[in-house]
Structure 1
Amino acid sequence: MKRLSVPLLLILAISTAGCATPGVCPAIGWSNSATVVLDGPVDGVAKVQFCPDGICSVTPQPSTAPKSTVAPGVSAIPGQADTAAPATPGPPVGDPNYSPYSGKKIDDRTWQFSTPMSAPKKATVRAMAASGEVLAEREVDLTWTRVGGSEQCGGPSTAGPITLAL
């Protein structure tokens, strides 16, 4: 049987050291998501808000800026098509209109909201007309179910679906 050299043993020991260390979590972040489903006539609904802790979500609007400065037919990233317009960024942290929560319309009845690294216990959900009129509003208790990561380190969770009757 051959003997392993000291440098090789050292490399193996260093490369596997993190695997045997209990209690160490990767330095990553995640977003939790909550889904709101509208029940009733949705024709007048322009926006749905998700408001935990008195701070309401923002819904990024598609940018009206050009999609790309790359020549037509050429992708900025080789092998990937340039098809999506960038979203207009929300207000910066510290701005009174800032919100860590964002939402997007999935279809006429379904909206999905992101809560980065937080799992609020309660929220108010509301459907609004284009004029800003509140069409329906409800306070809900949120129950989160982890869908990734681990019990020890945490990970992304989901809440809902939350039904909002119109």
Structure 2
Amino acid sequence: MRVVKGLRHLTPVAAAVALPLTLGLGSCASPNVCPAIAWSNSLTVSLDGAVESVGVVEFCVENTCSVPAPRPAPSASRIPGATPDADAVPSRSPQVATPSTSARTPSPFIASKADDRTWRFQLMMRTPERAVIRARSAEGQVLVEREVPLQWTRVGGSGQCGGPSTAAPVTLTV
């Protein structure tokens, strides 16, 4: 094997330069670095009373209210005899104007109806100390509204980097 003059010293020099760089970059993967991953926090609202009159439940902080979770588009191929999902969250009627429908930016609060008495809310990386919970009829009339304090408990992640939290359940009497 023929070595070009002057290059035989390159390999030891490259190793001498690469070793400290490798050791230094290895410290970048320390456990003190937080991953760049978002999470959502959750809250459950239980309804008592005349729940049959409730069309939607909203979670509001300041001038921002929840929006219904997006529903998948209907399939082009319908199954014979299939009926629409009766438990699906109804779309908001256009005549109902709330801060969440008039805002230009998407709401960070998503509402999902679990059953007639249970609503779940997802909050994108927010843990407000207080919120307004509001039940509306299908026509948009406010049936009941209550400001509630929220107590959050982290259920994942770490103290340093944060992580998903859940609030104590809220009960709303209609």
TM-score calculated relative to the size of structure 1: 0.69
> Which of 30, 38, 45 is matched with 2:47 structurally?
38
CA RMSD of aligned residues (A): 2.9
Structure 2 distance, partners of 1:124, 1:95, is: 17
Matched positions, count:
135
Per-residue Cα deviation, 1:100-152 (whole angstroms, up to 9, x for no partner): 21110011111011110111111000111011111111001111100000011
Structure 2 distance, partners of 1:67, 1:112, is: 29
1:8-157 to structure 2, matched below 5 A, reads 17=27, 21-60=30-69, 62-66=71-75, 95-96=103-104, 98-157=106-165
Structure 2 residues not aligned, in runs of 5+: 1-14, 80-90, 92-101
TM-score calculated relative to the size of structure 2: 0.66
Q: CA deviation at 1:99?
A: 1.4
Identity level (%): 50
Per-residue Cα deviation, 1:70-117 (whole angstroms, up to 9, x for no partner): xx9xxxxxxxxxxxxxxx9xxxxx953731211100111110111101
Structure 1 distance, partners of 2:164, 2:117, is: 24
In structure 2, relative to structure 1, the CA distance for the partners of 1:23 and 1:63 (3 Å cut) is closer
In structure 2, relative to structure 1, the CA distance for the partners of 1:117 and 1:46 (3 Å cut) is same
Larger Rg: 2
Structure 2 distance, partners of 1:31, 1:142, is: 15
Structure 1 residues not aligned, in runs of 5+: 1-5, 73-87, 89-93
Moved over 3 A (4+): 12-19, 94-98
Residue in structure 2 matched with residue 85 of structure 1 by the alignment:
none
Output the amino acid matched with 1:112.
Answer: R
Higher helix share: 2
